[in-house]
Amino acid sequence: MLRARFITRMPLSRNALFDFFDQHGIAHSTVEHPPIFTVEEGRDIKQTMPGGHTKNLFLKDKKGRLALVSALGDTQIAVNQLHRLVDCQRFSFGREELLYEALGVRPGSVTAFSILNDTENRVRFILDAGLFQHEIVNFHPLENTATTAISSRDLLRFARAAGHDPLIIDFERMACVDAPA
């Protein structure tokens, strides 16, 4: 159960997310489906949807610094090595209460789009360079009962409009890379 101190404001709704997209000229399309909690659970549903499909990790280091990693679903992420690129302590997975406090979503609904709820800019946003090999990328729209597609270029526009300049990492080489032009 969440304690009152973790609930400081209401997280944005899916409709508010779509309004944000529209206000920033970000084209989007959404497919409704039964709840999906893992990459594996969504494989059958996502086979009919074009583009790169994703996974998202909410991480915390020993000093309390937070990160959201958004990557292709099949990308191998060495969480125990990632801290070296981000210049922080070793990461572990953040607890549900902290996830809700920082990003306004529950486990199973973690998404790149939840960075919009991070109005205090507490969360470091990390993107997999592999996302930009796809014209379209797919994420849950703040809840796991649908998948929303946007262009990978618009993912960068979205992040910056939401007040976050993402760090882009090539997870195969474990190296930071420049944002695509």
pLDDT tens readout for residues 11-43: 899 999 999 999 999 999 999 998 887 777 777
Residue range 42-67: average pLDDT? 91
82 contacts 69 by C-beta, under 8 angstroms: yes
Tokens coding 67: 């990160």
Other C-beta atoms lying within 10 Å of the C-beta of residue 43: 12
How far is the C-alpha of 116 from the C-alpha of 1, rounded, in Å?
A: 24
Q: What is the DSSP string of the chain?
A: ---GGG-SSPPPPHHHHHHHHHHTT---EEEE-S---STTTTHHHHTTS-SEEEEEEEEEETT--EEEEEEETT----HHHHHHHHTSSPEEEPPHHHHHHHHS--TT---GGGGGG-TT--EEEEEEGGGGGSSEEEE-SSSTTEEEEEEHHHHHHHHHHTT---EEEETTTTEEEPPP-
Q: What is the pLDDT at residue 9?
A: 63
Q: What is the pLDDT at residue 2?
A: 41
Q: In 3D, which of 90, 82, 111 has the Cα closest to residue 176?
A: 82
Least confident among 6-15, 76-85, 172-181: 6-15
Half-sphere exposure of 163 (CA within 13 A, CB side): 10
pLDDT greater than 50 at residue 1 = no
pLDDT tens readout for residues 79-126: 999 999 998 999 999 999 999 999 999 999 999 999 999 999 999 999
Homologous superfamily of 29-177 in CATH? YbaK/aminoacyl-tRNA synthetase-associated domain (3.90.960.10)
Question: Which sequence spans correspond to the domains of the chain?
Answer: 29-177
Average pLDDT, the chain: 91
pLDDT tens readout for residues 143-171: 999 999 999 999 999 999 999 999 999 99
pLDDT greater than 50 at residue 5 = no
Place of tokens 């920033």: 24
- Specify the pTM: 0.91
* Per-residue CA distances from 139 to 44, 51, 176 (Å): 15, 10, 22
